[in-house]
Amino acid sequence: MAKVIVVGDPLVSSNLLEKAALQLKITGPIEVKKFEWYYDISKKEFQRIIKKIEMVGPEYMDIPNGILEELETANYLLVHYAPISRKMIEHAQHLKVIGTCRGGTEHVNMTVCQEHGIPVIYVIRNAEAVADFTIGLMYAETRNISRAHQFMMNGQWKKAFPNDPYKTTLSHLKVGICGFGHIGKLVIKRLNALGVDVLLYSSRENKDDLNKNGLSVEMVDLETLFTESDIVSLHARVTKENRNMIDKSLISRMKPSSYLINTARPELLDKEDLIDALRNHRIAGAAIDVFWEEPLDPNDELLKLDNITLTPHIAGDTVDAILGSPNLLRDALNEYFRGGLTPTALKW
């Protein structure tokens, strides 16, 4: 008997996770124990919880009652956003694999997983959605689509904007991609199809991966990316080393006609340095979908700028991205069990 524990939340229910767990290709019958984490609050309230766990990690979050006892005999643990802390892992002496149906692993104590040699399987549930949205933000900001709409809704027929001296088509711009994960690859693929020249900075350069995916880019260092790009789009994970790495020193390298796009993580970017550059029109504009505080405070300085496009962390929010993620996790786990190549498997 294989024992699988699933922990649902307001976005991905335990019922969806249970259905996926029962389709795992593991030997013998499967017993599923279901738990819920913050299942009885609204999605809006849950966004605050998500932001907190992204900031503080799994160790300072509550866990469902009774889960520690069940973990003592569990073989598999599947979650969406629920925390997986040191205490939980150390109670799970028979745990073989942890699976999470999202791309980020801030809610998992990866250090303890590594100490105990427990593989972590994750999935990029919304990569296509975020890649589409990123391209949309490039158009929206460079061509003033959203701010023109806002003026129209306020009864103003406005056709002049701060970036007027730089307005041109996307194909005439050079886009710099910072980060070469699943989303970054998909953004590059779309830009290649649009005939856009692409620069790429990645701390883990993989030319074989570029060739395998048929992507056309020019690899550059980070300083060159910011110096030469007309649009810089962030797609890196947050680590201790790169937190706030996009600061005044890099932003000051950007052309006055250039734009910054962030659909990744706010912690990559120094907020005050970005605001200063936009307020003084040292760059042409920015488009941001992720924020240091969510929801955004009504008095936030970002709301006072005339050269920024803001969206409320919705880049990955499509009807199929989140609800379909347990099935993606099921498929990734089954591929892992077969010994196949699983790019989203973290093994130690």
DSSP β-bridge partners for residue 34:
6
Angle between helices 127-142 and 182-193 (to 10 degrees): 50
Active site residue 294: yes
Active site residue 313: yes
* 106 and 57 Cβ atoms separated by less than 8 Å: yes
285: nearest Cα among 308, 268, 306 = 308
Nearest-angstrom CA–CA distance, 278 and 290: 17
Residue 305, number of CB atoms within 10 A of its CB: 18
Set 147, 265, 267, 330: catalytic member: 265
Strand pairing class (197-201; 218-219): parallel
262: nearest Cα among 231, 236, 291, 233 = 233
205: nearest Cα among 221, 216, 191, 194 = 221
Active site residue 265: yes
* 234 and 262 Cβ atoms separated by less than 8 Å: yes
Nearest-angstrom CA–CA distance, 19 and 13: 10
Classify residue 125 by its DSSP letter. T
* 6 and 18 Cβ atoms separated by less than 8 Å: yes
Nearest-angstrom CA–CA distance, 22 and 26: 9
Set 31, 36, 90, 294: catalytic member: 294
Residue appearing with tokens 């997983």: 113
Residue 109, number of CB atoms within 10 A of its CB: 21
DSSP β-bridge partners for residue 246:
269
Set 313, 330, 335, 338: catalytic member: 313
Catalytically annotated residues: 265, 294, 313
